Amino acid sequence: MAYFSRIISFSLIFLLVALACEARILLQSPGLVQTRNTHQAVASRLMVCRTCAFNDGGSQALQISPGVYDERDFQGLDFVISEARKNGVRLILSLCNNYKDFGGRPQYVSCPRNAGAPVNSDDDFYTNEVVKGYYTFSKVLTRINTITRVAYKDDPTIVAWEMINEPRCQVDYSGKTLNRLIQEMASFVKSIDSNHLLTVGMEGFYGDSMAEKKAINPGYQVGTDFISNHLIKEIDFRTIHAYPDLWLSGKDDSTQMAFMQRWTTSHLADSETIIKKPVIFSEFGKSSKDPGYSLIARDSFSNAVYTNIYNFARSRGIGGGLVWQIMAEGMQSYDDGYEIVLSQNPSTSGLITQQSNKMIALDHV
């Protein structure tokens, strides 16, 4: 766990999904834009990248159909890992998405539904035995990188696997349904790969195991239980996300920041007193699509979050913070309002570099 703390303490999200999803382009012209952006990230002293190891169904899919992968696109993911290795960047790789973007949970459920199997909703992803058989992830875990010749499960460039980005379950808000799946899948992943850390990929919403904690939520539940879901022994560290501009839409900045403070404080206290596992702030951001948005407001928000992370890291050992989302130049088709292009956002880039330096300094205290 000490090694985890050193790595994560200076990290952010660095979206390289285009590398994995557009392997055909990369094989013809080996990722010049994305590689250049990797150098910019390294220059900002960013050492950990969280990105996708999935693209299920649809255009230029990595996983064409359940268990069937496109080799050329898989080589794009090989390239991502190889470039990270050359630049001294460690990776947190997410294995699945909760949302329809790049396939995700809806794509897995659609396969048996299209075949006429009885599927009620996307939440059958968590309980339907046929659907669960589709997402074992074993072919990703055991993949031999065509560039480095190292199996993913043995590659130290990968620091952790994330089971699913922001899981949610509408049919059971208690968190119990999701808990059963996490236990099952975490045990399976660890049976193949015991070398790497494993996390769920949660936002941090509380469930029924400690009912009083639900007051910390932004007014609703999403079917996860931050406490019980992370007490599963195979889960090595916890994650929280925070989007007060979405979760408290229409509220003023001071209300959103007050929520952010409560959200952060509560989860870090849980780490120390209940769960006793490391935690990283693995997504946060402020959208340019928000009413009244300004770059100054975004930088102010990010600085406040970074200040909290640094203060907690100095006194309590939080792993670090990963901003959503760093993009390469020329990736406008992936813009979602939260994108940050380092070369085009000097004030934000400077803020990120400053935070990275401060967190690195803590590692040497």
Residues forming the active site: 166, 283
Q: 322: how many CB neighbours lie within 10 A of its CB?
A: 26
Say how far apart CA 152 and CA 365 lie, in whole Å.
33
Strands laid side by side in the 197-199 sheet: 11-13, 48-52, 90-94, 158-162, 197-199
CA distances from 148 to 80, 84, 86, 143, 152 (A): 11, 11, 10, 11, 10
Closest CA to 209 of 233, 232, 235, 176: 176
Say how far apart CA 158 and CA 164 lie, in whole Å.
16
| Residue 33 half-sphere exposure toward CB, CA atoms < 13 A | 15
Bridge partners (DSSP) listed for residue 279: 238
Burial class of residue 241, CB neighbours in 10 A (0-12, 13-18, 19+):
buried
Taking the CA atoms of 163, 101, 51 and 1 in sequence, report the sign of the dihedral they define.
negative
Taking the CA atoms of 185, 180, 197 and 97 in sequence, report the sign of the dihedral they define.
positive
